[in-house]
A = this chain, B = another copy of it.
């Protein structure tokens, strides 16, 4: 196997694991790094080489993808002790695919460039199932040379790649704009579904009509069946979009941009988390309205 087929994945949670398995399935030599023993075990069983530090992983790989939870973890993985930056080759490339702020991406890119290291700002959208199938969408920003180095892996991971610009941060900006809108559409979907139930309409009928009418959205079609079946097991925990909408509103604030609709949606996310539903699926936003108004929602059949 050619050396550039060695790809590392740091952070093998739901998304990272899906990416690692996709790469393994397509014949890559995959190296993984996580801090959780059960993630290590699952990765090893799937055929990955488990590394004991980001530095050890980066020493073996031409392409390193980070899919950890947030900025703090990304900072630690890249510039912490035994971090990626200690060993990444000058002809390798680091792909930062967690959802983080544009200013953090700019800071990472600047510090890596000072060491002569290449980085791509490459967030993903679509969730683990699409990542596993190679049909996730990716928004990619960074120098042409870095895009070229990661080209094979990018093609394997995503058949919906959008090259944003050479400016690191534009991938993060695009991801935040999209996820802010997804958050608005979801909070609006839950508000509308709950209002309909409060007004005496049948939830399944509401779903059918909206899907055939002007209120439909990708996230309505994806999440509302979970409300209809009363199944709030997390495919996407409510805390995730809470974080993304917060980051988007932070970027908007820094740019002097008022975003009243997203600001209202964020309050619904925060209230849902405050009520104790943060670890449930984000379709649980409907439970905020249930708490307020006592509506009856479908319950999961056991």
Chain A residues in contact with chain B, CB under 8 A?
102, 125-127, 137, 139, 160, 162, 164, 167, 170, 173-174, 177-182, 184-185, 187-189, 191-196, 198-201, 205-206, 208-210, 212-220, 222, 248, 251-252, 255-265, 267-268, 289, 292-293
Q: Whole-angstrom distance between the alpha carbons of A279 and B265 in the complex? A: 28
Is A160 a contact of B205 with CB atoms below 8 Å?
A: no
What residues of chain B lie closer than 8 Å to A255, measured between beta carbons? 195, 198-199, 293
What residues of chain B lie closer than 8 Å to A184, measured between beta carbons? 184-185, 187-188, 191-192, 261
Is B215 a contact of A185 with CB atoms below 8 Å?
A: yes
Q: Whole-angstrom distance between the alpha carbons of A263 and B162 in the complex? A: 34
Is A173 a contact of B199 with CB atoms below 8 Å?
A: yes
Is A212 a contact of B164 with CB atoms below 8 Å?
A: no
Is A192 a contact of B208 with CB atoms below 8 Å?
A: no
Given contacts A212-B160, A263-B264, contact A174 B201 (CB under 8 A): yes
Given contacts A188-B188, A199-B102, A199-B255, contact A178 B260 (CB under 8 A): no
What residues of chain B lie closer than 8 Å to A199, measured between beta carbons? 102, 173, 177, 251, 255
Is A260 a contact of B252 with CB atoms below 8 Å?
A: no
Q: Can you report 23 residue pairs joining A to B where beta carbons are below 8 Å apart?
A: A125-B209, A137-B213, A170-B200, A173-B196, A173-B201, A174-B205, A177-B199, A178-B209, A178-B210, A178-B213, A180-B195, A181-B217, A182-B215, A184-B185, A191-B261, A194-B257, A195-B251, A199-B251, A216-B218, A255-B293, A256-B293, A258-B292, A260-B268
Q: Which of B174, B185, B259 contacts A185 (CB under 8 A)?
A: B185
Given contacts A173-B201, A189-B181, A201-B174, contact A293 B217 (CB under 8 A): no
Q: Whole-angstrom distance between the alpha carbons of A179 and B209 in the complex? A: 11
Q: Which residue of chain B lies nearest to A241 when distances are taken between CB atoms in the complex? A: B214
What residues of chain B lie closer than 8 Å to A217, measured between beta carbons? 181, 185, 216-220
What residues of chain B lie closer than 8 Å to A261, measured between beta carbons? 184, 187-188, 191, 261, 264-265, 268
What residues of chain B lie closer than 8 Å to A178, measured between beta carbons? 192, 209-210, 213-215
What residues of chain B lie closer than 8 Å to A127, measured between beta carbons? 214
Given contacts A174-B205, A252-B195, A268-B261, contact A213 B125 (CB under 8 A): yes
Is B215 a contact of A218 with CB atoms below 8 Å?
A: yes
What residues of chain B lie closer than 8 Å to A267, measured between beta carbons? 260
Q: A182-B213, A191-B260 are in contact. List 17 more A-B contacts (CB 8 A).
A: A125-B213, A167-B200, A174-B196, A177-B196, A178-B192, A178-B210, A181-B188, A181-B191, A181-B210, A184-B184, A184-B191, A191-B259, A191-B261, A191-B262, A257-B292, A258-B293, A264-B264
What residues of chain B lie closer than 8 Å to A248, measured between beta carbons? 195
Q: How far is the CB of A100 from chain B (nearest CB, A)?
A: 15
Given contacts A162-B209, A251-B199, contact A192 B180 (CB under 8 A): yes
Query: What are the 8 closest A-B residue pairs judged by CB atoms, nearest first?
Result: A184-B188, A217-B217, A181-B215, A264-B264, A181-B192, A125-B213, A182-B214, A178-B215
